[in-house]
Amino acid sequence: TLRTLFPYTTLFRSIDSGIDYYHEDLKDNIWNNNKEIPDNGIDDDKNGYVDDRNGWNFAYDNNNSYDDNSHGTHVSGTIAASSNGIGVVGVAPTVKIMALKVANSRGFLYTSDVINAIQYGVSNGVKLFNCSFGSKDFSQTEYDVIKSSNALFMCSAGNGDINQIGLDNDGLVKNYPASFDLPNIISVSSIDKNGYLSTFSNYGVVSVDIAAPGGSIYSTVPGGYGYKSGTSMATPHVTGVAALVLSEDMNLSPIEVKNRILKSTHKLPKLKNKIVTGAIVDAFGAMNLTRSEERRVGKECSQ
């Protein structure tokens, strides 16, 4: 199945168009496969991928996951750009990103490559996946691999119809993987700067969980910085918060991380009856909830 990155225009790991891993704001946060000796032509860790130093390029079947599109680098900056006094700062500025390049330079990707990328990530211990892509075509294999993964998937709700007018994902037209009815998926819609659902953003009071800023987002692009809009840009804000929560307590299950996020939101009147929570993601709230749960558990253990 051919699908698209949402246009307009990825631990804690990004299935996307790759990453500019030389970028001044990202280079310190790129995942490194320390079981692989770089560029020796040997599959040292015997995982089926030769010299997979930072991830893999599933689109072109090689070890160079550099971003030839800019979408993946933009998403990555929102999750994990360094707090180094230059450029921008990601939601979780010290987490590592694995570049699972699946989209080609034009932003198209195949479901079979997505499935291989998920399996690669899972086998290397990835617990969070950012999925800023989608299509209306259901894949049973993709459903199964996500379901059995023990990871949490932040998935874009989608950017509406051909005129970029948001659609109801609870209706006949779905947007996968966001529309898979699975407990380890968070489906993310976009708000604009006024707290309204973005005109392009899909929604769904049953199937779309939460919203985040997705209009004119400033982040990293290859060699610099730029603005992009879309549910693709909203989703990595939630992935960043998931990374913060998980960093606080690495023993949390995917469902527990999801529950922390969905129980600590910031309600917005304009989102009521549009999405499940009627709210946007709240990093401070999610961290407070996680820390108060830890204190409660700590007390129980000491009694």
Is 16 a catalytic site residue? Answer: yes
**Binding of Ca ion by 52 (CB under 5 A):** yes
Q: Please list, in sequence order, all residues whose beta carbon lies within 8 angstroms of the beta carbon of residue 176, skipping any fewer than 6 positions away.
A: 134, 135, 136, 137, 138, 139, 142
Query: Minimum Å distance from CB 53 to Ca ion?
Result: 9
Among residues 159, 106, 151, the alpha carbon closest in space to that of 127 is found at: 151
Is 232 a catalytic site residue? Answer: yes
Looking at this protein, which amino acid is placed at residue 107?
Answer: G
Marked catalytic residue, from 14, 16, 76, 282 = 16
Marked catalytic residue, from 51, 70, 71, 113 = 71
Do residues 87 and 220 lie in contact, with contact meaning Cβ atoms separated by under 8 Å? Answer: yes
Q: Which is nearer to Ca ion, 36 or 282 (CB)?
A: 36
- Buried-exposed string 88-104: b where 16+ CB fall within 10 A, e elsewhere: bbbbbbebbbbbbbbbb
**Binding of Ca ion by 43 (CB under 5 A):** yes
Contact segment (CB under 5 A) with Ca ion among 45-53, 123-131, 260-268, 285-293 equals 45-53
Marked catalytic residue, from 14, 219, 232, 264 = 232
Q: Which is nearer to Ca ion, 54 or 135 (CB)?
A: 54
**Binding of Ca ion by 56 (CB under 5 A):** no
The residue whose two tokens read 């603005």 is: 227
Query: Minimum Å distance from CB 102 to Ca ion?
Result: 18
Sign of the Cα pseudo-torsion (228, 231, 210, 141, in order): negative
User: Structure tokens of 47?
Assistant: 């995982």
Query: Minimum Å distance from CB 49 to Ca ion?
Result: 4
| Secondary structure E strands in 92-206 | 99-101, 108-110, 128-131, 133-134, 152-156, 185-191
Contact segment (CB under 5 A) with Ca ion among 12-20, 50-58, 95-103, 268-276 equals 50-58
Q: Where is 227: in which H helix or E strand?
A: strand 224-228
**Binding of Ca ion by 49 (CB under 5 A):** yes
Q: Which is nearer to Ca ion, 40 or 105 (CB)?
A: 40
Query: Minimum Å distance from CB 56 to Ca ion?
Result: 9
Which residues are at the interface with Ca ion (CB under 5 A)? Answer: 36, 43, 45, 47, 49, 52
List residues with catalytic annotation.
Answer: 16, 71, 232
